Amino acid sequence: MSTTRIRYDQSYWQQLVDSQAQSGLSGAQFCRERHVAYASFMSWRKRLQNFSSQPSVAPESTFVELTAPTPIAEISQADSDPEPRLCVELNLGAGIELRITRSA
């Protein structure tokens, strides 16, 4: 006999985490009373804490204009690079880096 698993979304888990915080019960006791898997509850609680602690970006600052302070040709000549190019590197966190290079 197999049991059917139901997958809940983020809003469901957020409500559970909030309810547990307000209940005054330990996480384990709260999960026992609600018939919720303790491991899933703790995983979601940690995930939601990490999500809420990340800095949010205001909608006005979604786009950032990047301009080169010096013409590309001057940069390449100063670095003795035979081919002028532009390189932008962004560190997005969590070990993710984005590099955009353009040859002129």
1 found inside a domain: no
Give the C-alpha separation, 79 to 18, whole Å.
Answer: 56
> Which range marks the domain in which residue 97 is found?
59-103
Torsion angle of C-alpha atoms 5, 9, 11, 13, degrees rounded to 10: 40
5 found inside a domain: no
pLDDT band at 91 (very low <50, low <70, confident <90, very high): confident
Percent of the chain with pLDDT over 70: 65
| Average pLDDT value for residue range 72-99 | 67
Q: How does pLDDT run across 39-63, given as a tens digit for each residue?
A: 999 999 999 988 776 665 555 656 6
**77 with 43, same domain?**
no
What is the model's pTM?
0.47
91 found inside a domain: yes
**66 with 47, same domain?**
no
How many domains does the structure of the chain reveal?
2
4 found inside a domain: no
List of residues 6+ apart from 97 with CB closer than 8 A: 89, 90, 91
Give the C-alpha separation, 22 to 31, whole Å.
Answer: 14
Q: How does pLDDT run across 6-21, given as a tens digit for each residue?
A: 778 889 999 999 999 9
**37 with 66, same domain?**
no
31 found inside a domain: yes
